């Protein structure tokens, strides 16, 4: 294998592919990621196999240098626009004997401005030498390069890398991107990353976008850039513009339909409590180091005197210091306060998960890695981890996603209102349709609530089946009232299909005699016998133009008025209120 690798290096048997990175608002290709392939007839054709073999034969630096040279030369040869994301492993970056100026030499030789090149750190193996990493990154920055971190969320250390290196770009791992339009947990994760990125002046790139629905959700969340098969596959001679369907989707007004969640439920942090043996501040650093050595799984040791939390000692900080020349001799017998974080995050056991989550978001990033003290009126109880906190918040989001009308599982008033607000803010045209069942109450009185519930479920299912799940929002206001927020231009045809199928299927809920009579006898509110016709569905619709309405309250009022007009029409009916259009 080593001979094969040497042959590949000697004969430069590597080829470059490029995958576009797209601006999510404009659809412009702003950069390409350079990818590498080995010889097509070789087991090292796959980059994963190639770099694995290089590591096994101590040729990582040589292989990576050739990869970078091949990608840079091909990028220049194709005269591709925008920036180039150049993959570099931290392992290669940290080689003390590596010639860090070699990449710059190649760039100058072929005439590329270093400002167009982004060093993308691709983590093949975890690294804990963060000081050396920072030095190497600083070295590259001085040469004019920017930095990106690949696959954020895939490994735990990527969060610390972000905190330590402060990159200009972070790429979110495709696991959190694919299916985001159906998964409220993934949506919440990406929202959180986007929020952190905005505060740290970092631009986010979503990897692995494979569908238009994923693309539009990510655009609406505010993610700056995207990459994936839907936008363009890796290719030796990549396209310079996005596919027509992508350009059309990104240029179209409107908003994506988010997977729904409910209001957060309160919960305390007691469930996060881990009983971790604390050490006193009188213990010296050598003794703390020995504890870490005996317990490889232990990442943090709390320092507590007389029940009062003082600080936290990180395994990585301790090992990092002791790895330096003379540090152990100088500080080994001194108090463990020497390497302690003196400003730990401390939370009382009565604190809610939301409160702690907000504090964690506002605090320095290392607290997520180090964890936090849990106390009872200031007295040490134990520790909590950032991982556990994120897990519980995620579980709450899952619970929230399931919160909906208990009968139909469709989102209720709060999500409906939120979606209307997003539509208004987008400045796009949409249609609001208020659905209401006619003669539902007397049907309930005669046939019972169970049969009535079946009719409501039928209505919800019909609405969901005739709406575009990526463009049209179906909500259940309550009882027999539903609302659909259409962005589909053929909304009227969809409504008519619902009316037609409802008219056919609702008859199945009546007895044979009532179906033949076209209705049934029941008492009205005054106790009089009244003939009620078979249930029908009334739809009151309004068209919302940009800047026509400014609040969801105005829209709700107009839609309710339109519904009243629809209910005056006998049988299944659709009424479109055209008065606002005439006024405009």
Question: Are residues 420 and 385 part of one domain?
Answer: no
Torsion region of 438: left, alpha or beta (phi above 0 gives left; psi -120 to 50 gives alpha)? beta
The total number of residues shown for the chain amounts to 584
Domain final residue, candidates 340, 364, 396: 396
Question: Are residues 506 and 455 part of one domain?
Answer: yes
404, part of any domain: no
Question: Are residues 165 and 85 part of one domain?
Answer: yes
Question: Are residues 170 and 76 part of one domain?
Answer: yes
Which CATH number do you get for residue 89?
A: 3.20.20.450
Question: Are residues 513 and 488 part of one domain?
Answer: yes
CA gap 540, 555 in Å, rounded: 12
CA 540, 545, 546, 547 dihedral sign is negative
407, part of any domain: no
Q: Tell me the residue range of the domain where 354 lies.
A: 269-396
CA gap 523, 528 in Å, rounded: 5
Residue ranges in 300-434 assigned as alpha helix (H): 315-322, 327-331, 353-362, 366-370, 386-402, 413-426
Q: For residue 260, report the phi and psi dihedrals to the nearest 5 degrees.
A: -90, 150
- What spatial distance separates the first Cα and last Cα of the chain, rounded to whole Å? 75
Q: What is the largest CA-CA distance in the chain?
A: 99
Number of domains forming the structure of the chain: 3
Domain final residue, candidates 338, 370, 396: 396
Q: Is 495:433 a contact under the CB 8 Å cutoff? A: yes
Question: pLDDT tens track of the chain, all 584 residues?
Answer: 888 888 888 899 999 999 999 999 999 999 999 999 999 888 899 888 898 888 888 888 888 889 999 999 999 999 999 999 999 887 777 665 455 567 788 888 888 998 999 999 886 655 557 777 788 788 888 888 999 988 776 654 577 778 888 999 999 999 999 999 999 889 999 999 999 899 889 999 999 999 999 999 999 999 999 999 999 999 999 999 999 999 999 998 889 999 876 444 556 888 888 888 999 999 999 999 999 989 888 889 999 999 999 999 998 888 888 888 888 889 899 999 988 999 999 999 988 888 888 888 788 878 878 889 999 999 999 999 888 888 887 776 555 544 567 788 899 888 999 999 999 999 999 999 999 999 999 999 899 999 999 999 999 999 999 999 999 999 999 899 999 999 999 999 999 999 999 999 999 999 999 999 999 988 777 778 889 999 999 999 999 999 899 999 999 999 999 999 999 999 999 999 876 554 44
Cβ-count burial of 164 within 10 angstroms (0-12 exposed, 13-18 middle, 19+ buried)?
middle
Q: Is 347:359 a contact under the CB 8 Å cutoff? A: yes
327, part of any domain: yes
Neighbour count for residue 394 (Cβ, 10 Å): 15
Nearest to 314 by CA among 245, 275, 366, 251: 366
Question: Are residues 385 and 423 part of one domain?
Answer: no
Cβ-count burial of 343 within 10 angstroms (0-12 exposed, 13-18 middle, 19+ buried)?
exposed
CA gap 74, 34 in Å, rounded: 9
Q: Report the chain's C-alpha Rg in angstroms.
A: 31
pTM: 0.70
Question: Are residues 391 and 418 part of one domain?
Answer: no
Domain final residue, candidates 396, 424, 445: 396
Which CATH number do you get for residue 383?
A: 3.10.580.10
Cβ-count burial of 306 within 10 angstroms (0-12 exposed, 13-18 middle, 19+ buried)?
exposed
């Amino acid at each position: 294998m080593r001979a094969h690798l040497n042959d590949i290096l000697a004969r430069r048997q590597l080829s470059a592919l490029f995958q576009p990175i797209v601006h999510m608002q404009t659809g412009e290709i702003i950069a390409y990621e350079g990818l590498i392939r080995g010889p097509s007839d070789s087991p090292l054709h796959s980059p994963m196999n190639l770099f694995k073999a290089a590591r096994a034969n101590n040729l990582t630096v040589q292989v990576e240098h050739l990869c970078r040279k091949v990608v840079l030369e091909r990028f220049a040869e194709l005269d591709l626009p925008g920036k180039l994301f150049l993959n570099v492993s931290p392992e290669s970056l940290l080689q003390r004997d590596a010639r860090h100026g070699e990449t710059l030499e190649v760039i100058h030789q072929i005439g590329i401005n270093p400002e167009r090149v982004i060093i993308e750190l691709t983590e093949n193996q975890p690294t804990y030498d963060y000081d050396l990493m920072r030095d190497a990154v600083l070295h590259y920055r001085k040469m004019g390069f920017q930095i990106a971190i690949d696959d954020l969320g895939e490994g735990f250390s990527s969060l610390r890398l972000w905190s330590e290196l402060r990159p200009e770009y972070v790429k979110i791992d495709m696991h959190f991107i694919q299916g985001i339009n159906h998964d409220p947990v993934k949506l919440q994760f990406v929202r959180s990353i986007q929020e952190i990125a905005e505060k740290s002046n970092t631009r986010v790139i979503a990897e692995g976008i494979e569908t238009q629905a994923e693309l539009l959700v990510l655009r609406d969340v505010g993610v700056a850039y995207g990459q994936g098969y839907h936008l363009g596959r890796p290719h030796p001679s990549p396209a310079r513009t996005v596919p027509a369907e992508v350009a059309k989707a990104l240029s179209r007004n409107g908003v994506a339909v988010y997977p729904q969640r409910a209001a957060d439920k309160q919960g305390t942090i007691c469930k996060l409590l881990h009983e971790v043996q604390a050490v006193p501040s009188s213990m010296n650093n050598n003794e703390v180091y020995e504890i870490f050595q005996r317990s490889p799984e232990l990442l943090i040791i709390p320092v507590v005197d007389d029940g009062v939390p003082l600080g936290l000692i990180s395994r990585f900080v301790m090992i990092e210091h002791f790895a330096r020349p003379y540090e152990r001799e100088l500080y080994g017998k001194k108090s463990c306060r020497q390497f302690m974080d003196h400003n730990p995050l401390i939370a009382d056991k009565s604190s809610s998960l939301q409160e702690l989550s907000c504090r964690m978001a506002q605090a320095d990033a290392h607290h997520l890695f180090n964890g936090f003290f849990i106390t009872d009126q200031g007295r040490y109880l134990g520790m909590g981890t950032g991982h556990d906190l994120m897990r519980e918040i995620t579980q709450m989001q899952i619970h929230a996603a399931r919160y909906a009308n208990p009968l139909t599982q469709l989102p209720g008033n709060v999500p409906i209102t939120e979606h209307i607000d997003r539509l208004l803010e987008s400045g796009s045209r949409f249609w609001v349709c208020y659905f209401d069942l006619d003669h539902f109450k007397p049907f309930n009185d005669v046939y019972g609530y169970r049969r009535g519930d079946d009719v409501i479920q039928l209505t919800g299912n019909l609405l969901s089946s005739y709406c575009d799940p990526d463009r049209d929002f179906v909500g259940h206001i309550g009882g027999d009232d539903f609302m659909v927020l259409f962005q589909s231009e053929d909304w009227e045809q969809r409504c008519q299909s619902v009316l037609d199928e409802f008219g056919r299927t609702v008859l199945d809920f009546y007895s044979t005699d009532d179906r033949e009579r076209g209705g049934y006898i029941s008492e009205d509110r005054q106790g009089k016998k009244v003939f009620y016709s078979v249930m029908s569905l009334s739809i009151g619709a309004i068209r919302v133009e940009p800047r026509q309405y400014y609040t969801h309250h105005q829209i709700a009022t107009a839609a309710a008025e339109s519904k009243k007009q629809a209910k005056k029409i006998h049988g299944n009916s659709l009424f479109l209120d055209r008065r606002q259009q005439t006024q405009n």
